[in-house]
Amino acid sequence: MATLPSALALGEGTIFRFDIQVSPAEVALDQTHKPCQRVIGLAPNQPRYRILVVEDVWENRQLLVKLLETLEFEVREAVNGQEAIALWESWQPHLIWMDMRMPVMDGYDATKYIKAQANSQDTVIIALTASAFEEERSVALEAGCDDFVRKPCSQEVIFEKIALYLGVRYTYEQQQFPSLTQSESPQESLTPDRPATAQLEASALAVMPASWVAALHQAATALDDELILELLSQIPEVHAPLRNALAEWVNNFRFDRIVALTQISTE
């Protein structure tokens, strides 16, 4: 309903009032805590999957190769895009972990070549990159990659991606999902008057690069739960309690705690 002045005059204006009907938005985040499960082997009666690791840094390549070999995948390795293409043509891997920045031929050109071939539909290519820029994902997907993972990535992410694209089934060692502290329940963690850094000190984030902490701060400020969880997946397995505690904050919508923690750690 609008209330109009009887006559127009300098310094006077029009006041508009109106009502709109809205309903609260439903939040689709799953708050159910799932137990952490460590993969200890492959379930029986499955094909022998061939996986190619393409990475020019020897240490990074060996870490991934040894991890996959422990589960008895058939694994081969290449140090650049040219070697990757040659192995793809002769060996036909089911999945390729493709580093995107390499000498001789990078992962972008190698992926474009492979995906341009008629028989490439049987090979999944997952991009690996240390870049923290989101646009890197778009470039990799445009080159033909089926998915994108930032380095360093955890074992869980590696195994989850393989299961997602190849249908691999694992056997697990059951573990209890750790709470924020031994004495605090998830309900207690939602109490508004508890300080944001009650369960974690800012120094705990020192195990990760400053650029990663900055990216986590931005994601939490933007309430981007998907990006936060993707960043948490980059925390090494040796620091799993840190990753799990931060994940519990995400599941409980405590983005404010992550913002406060990352803000303190960068000051």
Q: Where are the domains of the chain?
A: 37-173, 194-266
Strand, helix or coil for residue 135: helix
pLDDT at 265 (0 to 100): 62
Q: How confident is the model at residue 67 (pLDDT cuts 50, 70, 90)?
A: very high
Q: How far apart are CA 177 and CA 11, in angstroms?
A: 64
Mean pLDDT to the nearest integer, 53-61? 93
Dig out the tokens for 22 from the structure.
Answer: 């809205």
pLDDT tens-digit readout, 161-197: 999 999 999 998 754 444 444 434 333 333 334 333 3
pTM: 0.54
CATH number of 37-173: 3.40.50.2300
Give the containing element (helix H, strand E) for 171.
strand 170-174
Strand, helix or coil for residue 76: strand
pLDDT tens-digit readout, 187-208: 333 333 433 334 577 788 888 8
Q: How far apart are CA 7 and CA 208, in angstroms?
A: 66
Residue type, 194: R
* Residue where the block lists tokens 């190769």: 65
Q: How far is CA 232 from CA 48, 72, 92, in A?
A: 31, 27, 33
Contacts 24+ apart (CB under 8 A), 126-129: 126/95, 126/96, 126/97, 126/98, 126/161, 126/165, 127/98, 127/100, 128/55, 128/97, 128/98, 128/99, 128/100, 128/153, 129/99, 129/100, 129/101
β-strands 147-150, 170-174 pairing: unpaired
State yes or no: pLDDT of 34 exceeds 70. no
Q: How far apart are CA 170 and CA 168, in angstroms?
A: 7
**Structure-model confidence comparison of residues 4 and 160, the more confident one:** 160
